[in-house]
């Protein structure tokens, strides 16, 4: 089903398949190399530590080479298929980038401040709510999480490298 205003331009399937084949090959090569360093032979007392992972990494490499050859030699009509249109990819990154920033924020300023900012930003940016509603809900959720975990359950959640909540004794 085609979206209204769709230009049918985007990331080609062939390019994605080649990129994935190269990434999985790199992963398989890393596994095989690390396993070889551990010992990938059959010793006097049985298999060494890297025996089975070495062969798994090798199988991943072989499968990746087969996928790379298939992607590179695909017929012309198949090579022009679109994997994802640019508009859809932008929507995916509109969620993925803030989620990655949320994870980085947890490391830097902790769970509660990051959750407040993440919830408020999504409400304001994606949900088109006013800034005071976004901040109020973000603060309310973060405060409720703080009460639940820190006060009632006595489970400490990450405060971050820069503990901006140190003034409340956490």
**H-helix or E-strand spanning residue 90:** helix 86-109
Q: Which residue has the tokens 């976004």?
A: 134
Give the pLDDT score at 5.
47
**Residue 69 burial (CB < 10 Å; 0-12/13-18/19+)?**
exposed
Helix (H, G, I), strand (E, B), or coil: what is residue 85? strand
Q: Which residue has the tokens 């695909």?
A: 74
Domain coordinates of the chain in residue numbers? 10-84, 86-168
Cα Rg of the chain, angstroms: 24
Backbone angles phi, psi at 152, to 5 degrees: -80, -50
Mean pLDDT in order along the chain per 10 residues (170 residues): 58 93 98 95 90 96 97 77 92 94 97 97 94 97 95 93 80
The C-alpha atoms of residue 106 and residue 138 are separated, in whole angstroms, by 15
Q: Which residue has the tokens 């930003």?
A: 121
The C-alpha atoms of residue 133 and residue 4 are separated, in whole angstroms, by 32
**Reported pTM:** 0.67
């Amino acid at each position: 089903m085609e979206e209204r205003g769709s230009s049918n331009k985007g990331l080609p399937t062939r390019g994605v398949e080649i990129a994935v084949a190269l990434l999985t090959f790199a992963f398989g090569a890393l596994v095989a190399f690390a396993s070889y360093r551990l010992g990938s032979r059959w010793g006097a007392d049985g298999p060494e530590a890297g025996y089975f992972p070495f062969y798994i990494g090798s199988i991943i490499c072989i499968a990746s080479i087969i996928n790379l050859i298939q992607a590179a030699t695909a017929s012309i009509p198949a090579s022009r298929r679109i994997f994802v249109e640019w508009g859809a990819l932008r929507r995916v990154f509109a969620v993925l980038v803030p989620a990655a920033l949320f994870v980085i924020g947890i490391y830097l300023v902790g769970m509660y401040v990051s959750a407040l900012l993440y919830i408020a930003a999504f409400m304001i940016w994606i949900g088109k709510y006013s800034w005071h509603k976004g901040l109020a809900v973000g603060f309310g959720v973060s405060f409720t999480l703080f009460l639940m975990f820190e006060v009632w359950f006595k489970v400490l959640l990450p405060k971050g490298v820069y503990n901006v909540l140190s003034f409340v004794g956490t």
